[in-house]
Chains A and B, each alone.
Chain A
Amino acid sequence: MVKDNNSHSAEHVLNLRLRVWRQRRGQPGAFEEHALQGVSTSASFLEMMDMLNEKLVRDGKEPFAFDHDCREGICGMCSMTINGMPHGPLPGVTTCQLHMRNFRDGETITVEPWRARAFPVLRDLMVDRSGFDKVIQSGGFISIRAGSAPEANATPVPKDVSDAAMDAAECIGCGACVASCKNGSAMLFVGAKVTHLNLLPQGQPERDRRVLAMVRTMDDAGFGNCTNQGECQAHCPKGITLDVISHLNRDYLGARVKAFFSSTGKVRRGGD
């Protein structure tokens, strides 16, 4: 495991060999090899990709398409598998927060998109993560009467519950869990969202419907099934743990049992 030493005083430049995935939507893709000289060890991985793209544009070639937005490690847009590891070799960071000091001079770096059936490649390193949006649309919210801000202390939340919910809420929905999972499963993501909302008092009225709907949508989107290997936790840039999957399983199985034994209503007389 590579350690990020934050020593900016020892800045060097790297000469790299890059194998980057090139693909157009609906067509087969392939790796392209490029040499890139003079990459500062203080550059972020995305800045290195910017350098590569600038070089390609200067040479009259097409730049690589890749997702990025905040470049602060909080938006969840960047999404590259670097040398087989989603978000690269440094645990606990997103690609934008990965710096080139974590690579060696002369190293060959393989950059490819998230690989999963539910994340089809849009172009080069960009994938369609709308499967996650559909999961959220199916239950990743609470239904409240929107209006003026409620009284802050009207709904007390115990500190340990609030801490656990906020730990789960750290998930930025980047999809590294799916990309790292040997089964293409999204259960760390879905577990984080279900745990976050189902722990809080505001999430209680829809607790069972939420978990049933989100798991149904997750299955329909073509994600795989968790086999409890823990690769997702090891690659999650936000340190979400398998606890959320255990919570998801518990809530889901409980909701199914409750639905199975739910009241069938009053006995109707005189036909139905």
Chain B
Amino acid sequence: MSTPSCNSALSSIGKKAVMALTGLVLVGFILGHLSGNLLFFKGPEVLNAYAQWLHENAALIWTARITLIVSVIAHIVAGISLTLENRAARAGGPAVEQTRRASWGSLTMPYTGLVVLGFIVFHLLHYTFQSVALGGQTFPLASNPAFTDVHAMLVAGFSHSGVSAFYIISLALLSLHLSHGVSSTFQTLGLRNERWRGRLDVLAVAFGWIVFLGFSAIPVSVLAGCIK
């Protein structure tokens, strides 16, 4: 048995580990982002104070941003590489295709991933750079015009039904992506067995639903006129 040298190109399992570890970072971010967003329902003061606190902690926000950018890029590069290799390895597949067990979420991972990427770009342009779908409006905070009135910006942004619909559909696809990805992460890192697989699958689906319902509650409540 020859001792394999440590080559620079990542192996199949190496790339999968990159997907899993960066996926975990992104799941952590989603949880943090969701908890922050739910402050929307506590009223403008609480949400804007939270946003102001984030922006006053430049070190924190930039550490998070850089970690996220690196994770997203690594997740996308490894994902594209794995998907292309898998397409080639399948060689077209059988003429009659049958699926016994693979979940819908697992079969659509590359597609839901692409839609989520498009959504992230739009979301950044929309609320971080405020350059699209806000009609050129700005939202200076009354108490401190250097900061944005995030609550007013969200209400204005989600008052547009087309934009809200795009958010809700994208969130549904993100949740579908997570319903497979979260459980898959444990398998890839070797932290799953038959006893835990069912439980982790349920946890992943539950997490997907929490993310979907938690995030989409904001555009739904604005559209329904509950929050103005």
Contact = CB atoms under 8 A, between A and B. Distances in A.
B6 interface: yes
A121 to B, nearest CB: 10
A250 B1 contact: no
- Most chain B CB within 10 A, of A229, A241, A250, is at A229
B153 to A, nearest CB: 38
A247 B90 contact: no
Contact of A228 (B6, B90, B188): B188
Interface stretch (B14-22, B44-52, B116-124, B170-178): B14-22
A117 B99 CA distance: 20
A101 B13 CA distance: 41
Contacts, number: 159
Contacts of B92: 115
Contacts of A246: 187, 190-193
B89 A116 contact: yes
B56 interface: no
A85 B99 CA distance: 8
- Most chain B CB within 10 A, of A141, A227, A241, is at A227
B155 to A, nearest CB: 40
A139 B1 contact: yes
Interface size class of B (residues with CB under 8 A): 35 or more
A182 interface: yes
B100 A85 contact: yes
A112 interface: yes
B109 A227 contact: yes
Nearest to B2: A213
Interface in A216-272: 216, 218-219, 222-231, 233-235, 241-243, 245-254, 256, 259-260
Contacts of B97: 84
Given A84-B94, A229-B101, A222 B190 contact: no
Contacts of B138: none
Interface size class of A (residues with CB under 8 A): 35 or more
A27 interface: no
Contacts of B99: 182, 231
A114 to B, nearest CB: 9
A215 to B, nearest CB: 6
B95 A184 contact: no
A83 B100 CA distance: 12
Contacts of B17: 249, 253
Given A182-B90, A215-B12, A249 B189 contact: yes
Given A83-B96, A219-B12, A249-B188, A184 B90 contact: yes
A210 interface: yes
Contacts of A69: none
B16 A249 contact: yes
B190 A116 contact: no
A249 B95 contact: no
B11 A182 contact: no
Contacts of B103: 229
- Most chain A CB within 10 A, of B91, B180, B183, is at B91
Nearest to A251: B190
Nearest to A138: B1
Contact of B13 (A179, A230, A252): A252
Sort A-B residue pairs by CB-CB distance and give the 8 closest, nearest first: A250-B190, A224-B89, A184-B89, A84-B98, A84-B96, A229-B102, A183-B86, A234-B100
Interface of A: 31, 81, 83-85, 91, 110, 112, 115-118, 138-139, 141, 143, 179-185, 187, 206, 209-210, 212-213, 215-216, 218-219, 222-231, 233-235, 241-243, 245-254, 256, 259-260
16 contacts: A85-B98, A110-B96, A115-B91, A139-B1, A181-B90, A182-B102, A183-B86, A187-B12, A213-B4, A224-B85, A225-B82, A228-B187, A229-B107, A246-B190, A249-B17, A249-B189
